[in-house]
Amino acid sequence: MAILIKPKELEFVNNPSTPTQFDLMTIMPRLSKITNAKQLIFDIRQLNPGKYSFPYHFHRNSEELMYVISGEMTVRTSDKLEVIRPGQMVFFELGETSAHQFYNHTDSPCMYLDIRTNMGFDVTEYPDSGKVNVFPFGLIFEKDMQVDYFKGEENVEKIWEQLKKDNAQYE
């Protein structure tokens, strides 16, 4: 079924707990929710003058495409700063080389369409702050807490011995 979205009938809202230097507004309700999209997350966003969109980050399991509708903003990538203008798009592949952040360097709001693939989960890393976010759970960790896969598994034999005692049919 086709679903017609009329952005002018919806409202831009920001998260009131967002620090003042970040002021990314999103049309509410979220467009992906309105449409019940399964494989895409998409929103129309407005970045106000002198504000940053979100922390500098990249996705491990999600591609992103931004299309500027009006205004302009500067995109920070892993290797440069570049101004993007109405009608231009910027695509971010998976991984570290696609790290990005937006800044509205102008005196006017910048409106853009944000489209991201949804494979059910994503891991987002934040190089500036060393954080990792597990989506959709919102579990945020500091990356320097990373441990070896077998850490804490030294007592596997003792655990199994106790399980066998607790489950007499295996004796």
Q: Is residue 4 part of a domain?
A: no
The predicted pLDDT at position 130 comes to 96
Residue 16 confidence class, pLDDT cut points 50, 70, 90: confident
Residue 123 confidence class, pLDDT cut points 50, 70, 90: very high
Per residue in 80-102, pLDDT (tens digit) is: 999 999 999 999 999 999 999 99
The predicted pLDDT at position 18 comes to 85
Residue 170 confidence class, pLDDT cut points 50, 70, 90: low
The predicted pLDDT at position 133 comes to 95
Q: Is residue 2 part of a domain?
A: no
Q: Is residue 148 part of a domain?
A: yes
Question: Which residues are CB-neighbours of 102 under 8 A, at least 6 positions away?
Answer: 47, 52, 53, 54, 66, 73, 74, 75, 76, 110
Per residue in 22-70, pLDDT (tens digit) is: 988 998 888 998 899 999 999 999 999 999 999 999 999 999 999 999 9
Q: Is residue 3 part of a domain?
A: no
Q: Is residue 73 part of a domain?
A: yes
Give me the number of domains the chain comprises.
Answer: 1
The predicted pLDDT at position 9 comes to 86
Find the CATH number of the domain harbouring 64. Answer: 2.60.120.10
Q: Is residue 1 part of a domain?
A: no
Q: Is residue 146 part of a domain?
A: yes
pTM of this prediction? 0.85
Determine the structural domain holding residue 134 and report its residue range.
Answer: 9-170
